[in-house]
Structure 1
């Protein structure tokens, strides 16, 4: 990280500093020659960082006199400013991805495709906010060419902040859904907040879902199933083995399921085309895809297949998961285990009731629900013959074991706070 080291020397008027080899915010990950950025409680670990021979420390609460510690007014602002300068001096191409659903999967797909030719980095885990995004940028190495950044938000102004830090060259808005209604109140407001990325990206480098009511109104590239889309998906097939699709007269196979993941894949394909990758390179990227866990992740335990889609949930992502589950594994017992959706505001019970009505309409043998919101929705639902509410996840596990010893497929879906993946045996 010679470029970053030189930036630090100039920015803070340092006569000399050991070359930075790693940037960390967690003191447990400090190694020799690390840059440690002490944010919030991280200021309590400055002495530990010095003992571990960090090259440099940026902190906003330090009263000592060690020359390795740079004291700033605000560590969060410091990491944002440093990330912007580093991004600009490296000259990497930045792809920013926002949307209500599908951000992480789309990010993983684009990264896998572009990595077939370019040196790339991507957002890891949930580092998609005003601290995580600049930290991700600071993971870049001097030889990297592209970074794929996930941009999360829960209120107005947050996407704008992330764009100011990252200065995206390309942008993607996956869709507009009902996430964050507790804070933003209406889907129109969600659209306004997500579309803050628009002013940072040229229209011919902004890709959106053209089937989305709000997004199709933007001056941008559109992709979707509708004939009005610039890039139209055709010949879509979904099976236990994955999906197939045709885009721009080229046929592709992806080891994912669902119309929503077909759309996410199409966005990755188009981005590969924008970076001049061949069809073969794009297909290799799709074939070597390594998804972030808990996004319709298939886990086999004996004769049981768990579909772990439990990273998060909203009304639209619940519908996507249930519609996809409807088409799969119809040669065995199928159980949908659904947990509460959080941050939906005053109409949350209505959204939960609609999810249960959708679950009742698909090919499924049993529906188990967990959480107080699901319970309230269950109690006002007219048709509950397939549905059982449980207040304990261990009870759900026991019911599955005792009632269905045969081969089965189990869908797990709920908001992150519900931790539905805990139902997986072993």
Structure 2
């Protein structure tokens, strides 16, 4: 981390011990790390020192006086500013990915494809906000060539701030959906917030979902199934193991289920072409995809298969998950356990009712729901084709005696439906 050490010495105008890594969690600090004491982190400065931190940046309220501790007015602002300076001094191409759904999966696929030719890093887990993105930037090393950064938000100005820090060279906007309506009220505002990214990236380096109502009139490289797109998805064939499809008549296969993953993979194919990968390299990257956990993840338990898609949920992603599950070619009996979708604002019950209406069209699939919003929606529908379950222990009791079944778990993160996997 020679570049970072030069930046730190210049920024703080003093000689400092050499930094070998960066942490924001004191329990993960190792000898030589720089520890940012954010969000109450002053309480853990002594812990970081004992673990061998070579430098600590805390705020002015800290009572600890040590040559290794630098006190600042706002630790998060310094984290962001140093990350901004750091990435600017690296020879790295930056890809910013945003959208209401599919960000993480698209990030994972792009990483898999581009890693066939370049040394890449990507956002880990859900580190996609005002703290997580700069922290991810500090995982870059001088020899890295591509940074694939997920950009999340819940309100106006947040994407813009992330772009100010990371200065993306390329952008992917996956779609405009109903996530964060609790804060942004409607999709028009989601569109405005997500597209703050566009003023930082040349339109020839912007990849967008061309079938999306809000994105279709933007300038950029459009990907989708409609014929007016620059890259057209066609000839989709689903199997239990994944999907085969064509993009502008070039054939590809992915070890993922769902037509929505043809779209996510197509974003990666186009990005690969922009960065001069050939078809063979791209397909090899697609074949080696390793998704972040809880994204339609198949978990095998004796005579049961769980589809753990329980990381998060919105109306769009819920329907996509249901469709993908419905279309899985299998002789096994199918059950769905669906939890509440959070952060949908004042119309949240209407969104849940719409999902339950959608479920009523499913044939030969038993549907169970969990959560107060789902229950309120079911009370409106008054149907006995969908069963409300009040607690997870009851869900487990339903599942335990079953054999040769495949079970979909889908809900927002706060519902933690993965806890019923036995």
TM over 0.5: yes
Pairing of 1:7-406 with structure 2 (within 5 A): 7-15=7-15, 17-60=16-59, 61-382=61-382, 384-402=383-401, 405-406=402-403
Measured after TM superposition, the shift of residue 248 of structure 1 is: 3.2
Measured after TM superposition, the shift of residue 365 of structure 1 is: 2.7
Measured after TM superposition, the shift of residue 85 of structure 1 is: 0.4
Tell me how far apart the structure 2 counterparts of residues 248 and 219 of structure 1 sit (CA, whole Å): 19
Q: Which of the residues 386, 409, 413 maps onto 1:412?
A: 409
Mean alpha-carbon deviation: is it higher for 200-209 or for 57-66?
57-66
Q: Which of the residues 416, 420, 424 maps onto 2:421?
A: 424
> Deviations for 1:314-351, whole angstroms, at most 9, x for unmatched residues?
00001100111111144111001000011111111111
SS at the partner of 2:141?
A: coil
> Deviations for 1:248-267, whole angstroms, at most 9, x for unmatched residues?
33211101111111100000
- Contact 1:330 1:363 (8 Å CA) reproduced: no
SS at the partner of 2:40?
A: helix
Tell me how far apart the structure 2 counterparts of residues 392 and 6 of structure 1 sit (CA, whole Å): 55
Long gaps (5+) in structure 2: none
> Deviations for 1:14-55, whole angstroms, at most 9, x for unmatched residues?
22x332211001111111110111102111111222222211
- Contact 2:98 2:151 (8 Å CA) reproduced: yes
Measured after TM superposition, the shift of residue 219 of structure 1 is: 1.0
Tell me how far apart the structure 2 counterparts of residues 394 and 270 of structure 1 sit (CA, whole Å): 45
* Segments ≥4 residues shifted beyond 3 Å: none
Measured after TM superposition, the shift of residue 201 of structure 1 is: 0.6
- Contact 1:310 1:412 (8 Å CA) reproduced: yes
> Deviations for 1:207-255, whole angstroms, at most 9, x for unmatched residues?
0000000001111110000000011111111121201111133211101
- Contact 2:337 2:408 (8 Å CA) reproduced: yes
> Deviations for 1:277-327, whole angstroms, at most 9, x for unmatched residues?
111111111111110000011111112111100000000001100111111
Tell me how far apart the structure 2 counterparts of residues 218 and 377 of structure 1 sit (CA, whole Å): 36
> Deviations for 1:343-381, whole angstroms, at most 9, x for unmatched residues?
111111111011011112124431000011111111111
RMSD: 1.1
SS at the partner of 1:126?
A: coil
- Contact 1:353 1:381 (8 Å CA) reproduced: yes
SS at the partner of 2:89?
A: helix
- Contact 1:365 1:386 (8 Å CA) reproduced: no
Measured after TM superposition, the shift of residue 87 of structure 1 is: 0.3
Tell me how far apart the structure 2 counterparts of residues 226 and 135 of structure 1 sit (CA, whole Å): 38
Long gaps (5+) in structure 1: none
The number of residue pairs the alignment matches comes to: 421
Tell me how far apart the structure 1 counterparts of residues 93 and 296 of structure 2 sit (CA, whole Å): 29
> Deviations for 1:366-411, whole angstroms, at most 9, x for unmatched residues?
10000111111111115x3331101111101111223xx2201100
SS at the partner of 1:385?
A: coil
- Contact 1:237 1:244 (8 Å CA) reproduced: yes
